[in-house]
């Protein structure tokens, strides 16, 4: 009943505004039968929904009133929507309010002061609600180099560089509010002939005989419009070497050609900074076609040779940890080569926020994700960049695809019992292989001639038929292999693994020198992540294993991306240049502590080096053993039962 009332009130408010009159809040409240406070809240919610769906917007002006501002086409579309559906969404989530608040703040100039009350009035929210929302959205801004700063007795402002503002606007429009693209483009680039800019970019594409993917085109369109609409400096603090590196790429020349056309049409001058920022964004875009070469041939050869060597090192490192040979997979090498080119620029210039795939990858492909984590130091050593969790997750997916292609290295086999045709059965087989790579081989059999005796060697029997089969290996999934069915098969696979005989865990003798008893911390009385990291690093520093600068490099790494790898385990680490003697400290916590969005009770502080062949070999072996330790419930639980540093040390090196 409450939902029906909400629908009714939202419709009444909107139909009131569709009368093309200007109302006060009190007048609307009287017409729809609500309090003024409730009407203000609902107006804000409805306005957010309208802008997101391209139906115009609600305008409010002090002393004038409230009215609906939309084109005739938007009005007709809105009326059709109401006629066809009968109602607006009955409730709007807090996320909608957050989105509106972010958009409102991005309309401010860098350092422009506003007040809590002004924002509350413009969003039709109470001041306490806006204060709460400001705290909740602060992380979003900080991830993009912007900070909400309170100014006593004045209000607050959004501080940060012009470059950070433009990146935040890009992320807001393209990722958060794609449905309101046209309205937002007009908001953030007022008085700009955006259609003319669109045609200029198309002309540049045709001249260069290239084709940008849709998202990449929109990104270029937005950034060029912003460069005309905003006058602030976009200085990124690039070194001369970085600028020369960027200028050697075709993306720079393409960006330059776009702005040359704009200069000619508008008779204005475009700064070198604007060209540079567009070139960097083109370099970091994930889905751009035809930008495969570099302008300078010698530069091209050297760049490609170096990157190819690096990709092979990454594949070799991960393959060693997973105990699988991926060196002959040409598809993997070519895919990673193309992926790494843009990924390295993304991380180097911090131009892209995460795509939020890491949680999925950590849950579904824990071993592959952890093995990919082992390459973090390679990125730091060869490119002086801190690889993010989402970039590692992206690489892990390429590796997982290669493992699936290889069809070996996993010990489980299965039988698919099906009365479906060949095509349906084959589809089911591929779905199982893709979703559960632990199953390396699947045979298919029909129920009409099925006999258990013929399939004693199969680990799992996936029964899609109507036939009843009495065997502990059977998983009945019905006639269609959907997501729930895949989950049942995965649970069976885990169950089989848990009962198989496993060798007793210990770290290889190659890794023993990495551990020392006084670097094991059992149930320390600490409830804060930063305090724990500081304690562990300071102990290493006292022993002379790391320099006084190592702690700040660990925190730099933490700010770049979370080091939680799932299962309540985190592996913070810092700059290899600040390590005197490779060591690993371990903390087992009595109660889990917050680690960004996760909870952690096991921490391995890594201070490992890869500056010699021996160190590379030892580091690979550590990650290989560490994967076995943290991927198995029993070994992980056994580690947590140790009551002293000496017991844990013995458990690792026995």
Q: Are strands 583-595 and 520-522 parallel, antiparallel or unpaired?
A: parallel
The DSSP element (H or E) to which 599 belongs, if any, is strand 598-607
How far is 337 from 157, CA to CA, in rounded Å? 42
pLDDT of residue 87: 46
pLDDT of residue 493: 81
503: which DSSP letter?
P
621: its two tokens: 């072996």
Alpha carbon distances (Å) from 85 to 53, 88, 351, 410, 609 = 14, 8, 41, 52, 63
pLDDT of residue 16: 82
Query: C-alpha dihedral over 19, 22, 25, 31, to 10 degrees?
Result: -30
Q: In 3D, which of 215, 219, 108, 226 has the Cα closest to residue 163?
A: 226
How far is 565 from 362, CA to CA, in rounded Å? 7
- Check residue 187 and give left, alpha or beta (phi > 0: left; psi -120 to 50: alpha): alpha
Q: In 3D, which of 614, 610, 49, 127 has the Cα closest to residue 374?
A: 610
Helix axes 181-188, 94-106, angle to 10 degrees: 30
Q: Is the dihedral of CA 387, 391, 396, 401 positive or negative?
A: negative
571: its two tokens: 């592996």
Q: Are strands 412-417 and 155-159 parallel, antiparallel or unpaired?
A: unpaired
How far is 246 from 233, CA to CA, in rounded Å? 19
Please say whether the beta carbons of 580 and 547 come within 8 A: yes
Please say whether the beta carbons of 43 and 23 come within 8 A: no
pLDDT of residue 86: 44
Please say whether the beta carbons of 131 and 116 come within 8 A: yes
Q: What burial class does residue 456 get, using C-beta atoms within 10 Å of its C-beta: 0-12 exposed, 13-18 middle, 19+ buried?
A: exposed
- Radius of gyration, alpha carbons of the chain: 29
pTM of the model: 0.54
Instruction: Tell me phi and psi for residue 114, to 5 degrees.
Output: -135, 175
Splitting the chain (654 residues) into consecutive groups of 10 residues, what average pLDDT does each group show? 56 80 81 74 77 78 79 78 53 66 91 90 82 89 89 87 90 84 89 92 84 81 92 75 81 89 88 88 64 53 79 91 85 82 75 59 81 87 82 85 65 82 72 75 80 83 86 84 81 72 77 92 91 95 93 87 86 91 94 88 92 88 89 86 90 84
How far is 585 from 546, CA to CA, in rounded Å? 12
How far is 372 from 401, CA to CA, in rounded Å? 13
Angle at the Cα of 225 from the Cα atoms of 294 and 162, rounded to 5 degrees: 85
């Amino acid at each position: 009943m409450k939902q029906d009332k909400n629908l009714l009130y939202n419709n009444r408010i909107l139909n009131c505004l569709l009368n093309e009159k200007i109302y006060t809040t009190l007048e609307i409240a009287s017409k729809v039968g609500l309090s003024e406070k409730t009407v203000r809240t609902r107006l804000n919610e409805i306005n957010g929904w309208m802008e997101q769906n391209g139906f115009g917007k609600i305008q409010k002006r002090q002393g004038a009133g409230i009215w609906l501002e939309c084109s005739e086409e938007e009005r007709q579309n809105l009326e059709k929507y109401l006629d066809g559906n009968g109602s607006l969404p009955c409730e709007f989530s807090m996320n909608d309010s957050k989105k509106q608040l972010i958009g409102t703040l991005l309309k401010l100039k860098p350092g422009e002061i506003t007040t809590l009350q002004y924002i509350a009035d413009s969003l039709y929210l109470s001041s306490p609600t806006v204060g709460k929302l400001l705290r909740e959205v602060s992380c979003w801004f900080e991830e993009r180099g912007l900070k909400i700063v309170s100014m006593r007795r004045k209000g607050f402002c959004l501080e940060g560089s012009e470059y950070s503002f433009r990146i935040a606007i890009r992320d807001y429009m393209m990722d958060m509010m794609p449905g309101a693209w046209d309205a937002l483009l007009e908001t953030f680039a007022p008085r700009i002939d955006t259609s003319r800019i669109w045609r200029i970019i198309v002309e540049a594409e045709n001249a260069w005989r290239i084709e940008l993917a849709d998202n990449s085109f929109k990104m270029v369109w937005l950034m060029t419009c912003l460069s005309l609409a905003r006058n602030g400096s976009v200085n990124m603090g690039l070194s001369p070497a970085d600028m020369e590196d960027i200028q050697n790429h075709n993306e720079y020349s393409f960006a330059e050609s776009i702005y040359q056309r704009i200069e000619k049409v508008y008779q204005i001058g475009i700064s070198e900074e604007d060209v540079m920022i567009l070139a960097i964004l083109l370099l970091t875009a994930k889905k751009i076609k035809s930008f495969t070469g570099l302008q300078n041939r010698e530069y091209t050869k050297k760049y490609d040779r170096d990157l190819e060597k690096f990709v092979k090192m990454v594949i070799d490192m991960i393959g060693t940890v997973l105990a699988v040979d991926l060196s002959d997979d040409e598809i993997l090498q070519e895919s990673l080569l193309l992926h790494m080119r843009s990924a390295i620029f993304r991380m180097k210039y911090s131009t892209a926020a995460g795509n939020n795939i890491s949680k999925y990858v950590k849950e579904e492909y824990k071993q592959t994700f952890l093995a990919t984590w082992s390459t973090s130091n390679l990125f730091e050593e060869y490119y002086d960049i801190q690889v993010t969790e989402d970039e590692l997750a992206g690489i892990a997916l390429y590796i997982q695809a290669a493992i699936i292609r290889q069809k070996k290295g996993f010990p489980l086999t299965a039988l698919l019992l099906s009365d479906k045709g060949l095509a349906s059965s084959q589809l089911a087989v591929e779905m199982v292989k893709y979703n559960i790579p632990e199953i390396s081989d699947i045979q298919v059999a029909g129920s009409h001639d099925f006999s258990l005796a013929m399939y004693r060697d199969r680990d799992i029997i996936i029964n899609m038929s109507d036939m009843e089969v009495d065997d502990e290996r059977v998983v009945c999934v019905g006639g269609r292999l959907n997501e729930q069915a895949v989950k049942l098969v995965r649970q069976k696979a885990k169950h089989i693994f848990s009962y198989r005989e496993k060798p007793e865990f210990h770290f290889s003798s190659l890794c023993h020198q990495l551990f020392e008893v006084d670097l094991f911390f059992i149930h320390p009385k600490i409830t804060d992540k930063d305090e724990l990291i500081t304690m562990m690093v300071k102990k290493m520093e006292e022993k002379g294993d790391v320099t006084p600068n190592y702690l700040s490099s660990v925190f730099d790494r933490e700010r770049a991306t979370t080091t939680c790898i799932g299962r309540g385990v985190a592996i913070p680490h810092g700059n290899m240049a600040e390590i005197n003697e490779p060591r690993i400290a371990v903390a087992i916590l009595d109660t889990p502590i917050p680690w960004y969005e996760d909870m952690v009770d096991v921490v391995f502080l890594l201070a490992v080096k890869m500056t010699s062949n021996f160190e590379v070999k030892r580091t690979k072996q550590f990650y290989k053993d560490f994967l076995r330790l943290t991927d198995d419930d029993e070994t992980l639980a056994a580690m947590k039962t140790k009551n002293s540093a000496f017991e844990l040390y013995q458990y690792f090196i026995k």
